[in-house]
Chains A and B, each alone.
Chain A
């Protein structure tokens, strides 16, 4: 980050546009009033700490825009910054707040970027556990380390994730990171070259003709390529799901890691939060930290019906849910009227290719789908799975990929 204001360590938010300097003939650059470089660098830094991704290139672009307008006018500065530093409708309220604070002379309270980790237990797969809490491991310690690791993962696979110790959880997280979640495949509009007779590829055929000087050659073929369908994960992070939310979000992170697959992740609690952006990046711990900072309503109540409606209005109907495999990860405890949830599930079922409901509590003995919301939703669910253990999540991945089909 270089720039005239780069030598100051903190974003010095001077009164950037003071009342007197509004249309004053002298744009007093000496004290920073009306100096677009200072304004934009200050804005950029404040926005960066508010969680927007603002690089020096965008700040430079903002300065260029401000200079092209009238940098002594507050509204021109506002629009120059907003057009260049925001890239998302979600950015706009943050930008408005930061801009208002900066131009009123207040220094916005800088929040450090979310780098703290929700839970980080550094355990290597190959180190046998010395503590006596996990009994399978002491038994396996005599064996070679690799075999030990493999067998623990095997016993881990079928255990309910809420019953795991810290060390087992760390291993589970590693196993989760290896999963991927492509949606079932569908034919794409794109065509690929194919060695087998099918539709003629005029481009390649004529190219071959040209190469042979116009003499007839064997025609070239194409076939339709296939692409995975997009996957949408709606993860319930309310109080009743607290034991499972972290595991399910890690599963969601692994699911978003695969390139070429469109995966969207939302959390449901008292509010709907889109966390797809926070999930970006290869490191699960960092991603979980970012998600934790972005989700305002951990362990609150659930308003499934209202939130599902919000999801469908703001995202689903526009295209996010169209033709997608939608996975709802929730126990279905609904605080409000289940009828609303039923109506929204019907809408979802009409838009999505498949609706999968993953209820970790379904893995418990004697489970019956009695939760009011769940009973209302089930008629519109294509697959109903448990997802309480690693094996159950692997099964979920197979169902989403269309490899395994299981009715609700």
Chain B
């Protein structure tokens, strides 16, 4: 391959990619930018694992904007099959075609059969779509939800960027798509799949980066509100909750407070909007018992 892969013009290092991602509203740290840089340059899929809400799916969206390419998303679920992920034959249209051909005067069975199993009757599902669209960004979301049999389908697609259709032969991508595979780690994905990817474990961002993310995502919120909400979210992460808030929850919270016109976070407003960050009844009770006011003061003082 040409050595630059899918890298956009002007991106010569991971640091350049950080800049491009920031332009489209995604603040990546050095590790993630390096992973994405290598993935684009060497045509390797990126395997992103981490807690819910650390920005795995957002990365794929941001890459699509940077590359100015369509994002093709495959949401995995239990029982997903090749006919839903790779391709399917369009049987009703085939049948219709057969009927029409039979009615014609010059019916040639061999020619009609060849037509029946040609590309025009093949319905492309996300994986095949991504191979046929270049450039494109393929997001294989929550691969850990699919059964392990499904990983075998993914393996062929992600290692050779090709799909074999028995009736038709092998369809290969001219330019492989950029691929982001995400997992919430509800089970171990097979090593063979990970081996074909760059593996990146995403952590919650440190305080300053998260404040910057919130400010970028919620431009209507004041700088003070963003910092205080982030500080409170960090405090909640240390508060031993069943589901500690992710970045998405911090952003939701800031949005909710900004919609209420709050200049900053105060205990009354925090208690009223707690549902944006804390999603379990047990957690709500725990946060109430912690005394939101004291928590906030401590968080804001510490920030």
User: For residues 78 through 111 of chain B, which have their beta carbon under 8 Å from a beta carbon of chain A?
Assistant: 78-79, 81, 83, 91-92, 94-95, 98-99, 102
Contact across chains for A210 and B185 when beta carbons are under 8 A apart = no
A402 to B98, alpha carbons, bound, how many Å? 51
Range, interface on chain A? 35 or more
Contact across chains for A57 and B195 when beta carbons are under 8 A apart = yes
Contact across chains for A83 and B38 when beta carbons are under 8 A apart = yes
> Which A residues are in CB contact (< 8 Å) with B98?
210, 213-214
Residues of B within 8 A of A (CB): 13-14, 30-31, 34-35, 37-38, 41-42, 44, 49, 77-79, 81, 83, 91-92, 94-95, 98-99, 102, 116, 144-145, 147, 184-188, 191, 194-195, 198-201, 242-243
Contact across chains for A188 and B79 when beta carbons are under 8 A apart = yes
> Which A residues are in CB contact (< 8 Å) with B30?
75, 79
Min Cβ gap B243→A in Å is 8
A262 to B186, alpha carbons, bound, how many Å? 12
User: For residues 261 through 298 of chain A, which have their beta carbon under 8 Å from a beta carbon of chain B?
Assistant: 262, 264, 276-277
A58 to B195, alpha carbons, bound, how many Å? 7
> Which B residues are in CB contact (< 8 Å) with A69?
13-14, 34, 37-38
Q: Is A319's CB within 8 Å of the partner chain B? A: yes
Starting from the known contacts A69-B14, A92-B201, A264-B187, 17 additional A-B residue pairs (CB-CB under 8 Å) come to A57-B195, A61-B44, A64-B42, A69-B13, A79-B30, A82-B31, A83-B31, A83-B35, A83-B200, A87-B194, A88-B199, A190-B81, A203-B83, A206-B91, A214-B99, A319-B144, A320-B187
Contact across chains for A68 and B42 when beta carbons are under 8 A apart = yes
Contact across chains for A84 and B198 when beta carbons are under 8 A apart = yes
Most buried by A among B144, B198, B243: B198
Min Cβ gap A344→B in Å is 11
State whether A70 and B91 are in contact (beta carbons under 8 Å apart), knowing that A58-B195, A83-B199, A189-B78 are contacts in the complex. Answer: no
Contact across chains for A320 and B186 when beta carbons are under 8 A apart = yes
Contact across chains for B191 and A318 when beta carbons are under 8 A apart = no
Instruction: Specify the main secondary structure of chain A where it touches its partner.
Output: helix
State whether A214 and B198 are in contact (beta carbons under 8 Å apart), knowing that A79-B34, A203-B83, A320-B186 are contacts in the complex. Answer: no
Min Cβ gap A109→B in Å is 26
Contact across chains for A213 and B13 when beta carbons are under 8 A apart = no
Which residue of A is nearest B33, CB measured?
A: A79
Q: Is A22's CB within 8 Å of the partner chain B? A: no
A68 to B41, alpha carbons, bound, how many Å? 8
Instruction: Specify the main secondary structure of chain B where it touches its partner.
Output: helix
> Which A residues are in CB contact (< 8 Å) with B37?
68-69
A83 to B32, alpha carbons, bound, how many Å? 10
Q: Is A207's CB within 8 Å of the partner chain B? A: yes
State whether A319 and B81 are in contact (beta carbons under 8 Å apart), knowing that A76-B34, A87-B194, A347-B242 are contacts in the complex. Answer: no
Contact across chains for A210 and B116 when beta carbons are under 8 A apart = yes
Which residue of B is nearest A312, CB measured?
A: B242
Most buried by B among A79, A80, A84: A79
Contact across chains for B198 and A83 when beta carbons are under 8 A apart = yes
Contact across chains for B194 and A189 when beta carbons are under 8 A apart = no
> Which B residues are in CB contact (< 8 Å) with A207?
91
Q: Could you say which of B94, B185, B188 contacts A276, with CB atoms under 8 Å apart?
A: B188
Min Cβ gap A363→B in Å is 33
Contact across chains for B187 and A65 when beta carbons are under 8 A apart = no
A68 to B38, alpha carbons, bound, how many Å? 7
> Which A residues are in CB contact (< 8 Å) with B35?
79, 83
User: For residues 200 through 257 of chain A, which have their beta carbon under 8 Å from a beta carbon of chain B?
Assistant: 202-203, 206-207, 209-210, 213-214
> Which A residues are in CB contact (< 8 Å) with B99?
214
Q: Is A119's CB within 8 Å of the partner chain B? A: no
Which residue of A is nearest B144, CB measured?
A: A319
Contact across chains for B91 and A65 when beta carbons are under 8 A apart = no
A188 to B35, alpha carbons, bound, how many Å? 36
State whether A79 and B187 are in contact (beta carbons under 8 Å apart), knowing that A214-B98, A317-B242 are contacts in the complex. Answer: no
Most buried by A among B44, B144, B199, B243: B199
Contact across chains for A87 and B199 when beta carbons are under 8 A apart = yes
A206 to B185, alpha carbons, bound, how many Å? 39
Q: Is A53's CB within 8 Å of the partner chain B? A: yes
A322 to B144, alpha carbons, bound, how many Å? 13
Contact across chains for B95 and A214 when beta carbons are under 8 A apart = yes
A241 to B246, alpha carbons, bound, how many Å? 39
Contact across chains for A318 and B184 when beta carbons are under 8 A apart = yes
User: For residues 34 through 82 of chain A, which have their beta carbon under 8 Å from a beta carbon of chain B?
Assistant: 53, 55, 57-58, 61, 64-65, 68-70, 75-76, 79-80, 82
A213 to B78, alpha carbons, bound, how many Å? 36
> Which B residues are in CB contact (< 8 Å) with A319?
144-145, 184, 186-187
> Which B residues are in CB contact (< 8 Å) with A214?
95, 98-99, 102
